Amino acid sequence: MIDAPPCAIVAGIGPGLGAALCRELAGAGYRIVGLARSAGAGEALLEDLGPERFLPLRCDLADAAQVDAAITQAEERFGPAGTYVHNAAHLHMQPFLDTEPGDFETLWRTTCLGAAHGAHRVLPAMLAAGQGNLLFIGATASVKAGARFAAFASAKFALRGLAQSLARELGPQGIHVAHLVIDGIIWSERARDQFQMTREQCLDPEAVAASCLHLLQQPRSAWTHELD
């Protein structure tokens, strides 16, 4: 009996790293489920990768019921996920006194609570299989909070803490938990339009995605927890 291709769930599939991750995983033989709040986020990827390799689903990661429903649909299509990548977040830069409490909550719910919802839902199948990958995408603000980044950095710090705790709890059970610190701006049209940056000034999303794949394919005897 031929084994089915592995399934990976990528939460956050917008232009830049999310899309590059889906393409990198597809090239490595994975079938990918892409989760995004926008219904149109996965249209270009679906056209490129095809329905036999890619399933885009609309999902608010801060809502546990929506996460459960989306991952149930993913399992029905491609089987249990052996890899979960949490790439969902949005950059928020604002002076502290102009930052409303709701901004803090929104960023935390998307960045950290959403990651907890996803991990909580996929882990039972991974633990039953005795193997799996959880990859959390962090930022410079995960380890160093700059001015006007109070809401964003506190959410990213929380995500890093979640990753560290899960790595120590789940590693002995065969689950590789990794945290990636993105110390720079990843190239996309947004980087050009919002920050007036050129491609040469930015991180190449395909190169970052290749580093992610390397993390996911590491042998257990030499797992990396954090890559900068």
Would you state the pLDDT for residue 1? 40
Question: Model confidence at 38, in pLDDT bands (50, 70, 90)?
Answer: confident
Would you state the pLDDT for residue 195? 84
Quick check: 39 pLDDT over 80? no
Quick check: 2 pLDDT over 60? no
Would you state the pLDDT for residue 90? 82
* Cα 144–Cα 150–Cα 152 angle in degrees, nearest 5: 80
| DSSP strands (E only) in 45-123 | 54-58, 83-86
Of all residues in the chain, the percent with pLDDT exceeding 90 is: 86
Q: How far apart are CA 88 and CA 111, in angstroms?
A: 6
Give per-residue pLDDT as tens, 102-118.
999 999 999 999 999 99
Q: How far apart are CA 221 and CA 85, in angstroms?
A: 21
What value does the mean pLDDT of the chain take?
A: 95
Q: Which two tokens stand for residue 152?
A: 């964003």
Backbone phi, psi, residue 51, to 5°: -65, -20
Average pLDDT over residues 90-103: 93
Question: Model confidence at 4, in pLDDT bands (50, 70, 90)?
Answer: confident
Q: How far apart are CA 208 and CA 59, in angstroms?
A: 24
Q: Kindly state the helix (H) or strand (E) to which residue 126 belongs, with its residue range.
A: helix 114-129
Average pLDDT over residues 52-71: 97
Average pLDDT over residues 117-125: 98
Is the Cβ–Cβ distance between 8 and 53 less than 8 Å? no
Quick check: 122 pLDDT over 90? yes
Backbone phi, psi, residue 178, to 5°: -130, 150
Of all residues in the chain, the percent with pLDDT exceeding 70 is: 99
What is the radius of gyration, based on Cα positions, of the chain?
17
Q: How far apart are CA 46 and CA 190, in angstroms?
A: 21
Task: Output the pTM of the full model.
Answer: 0.96
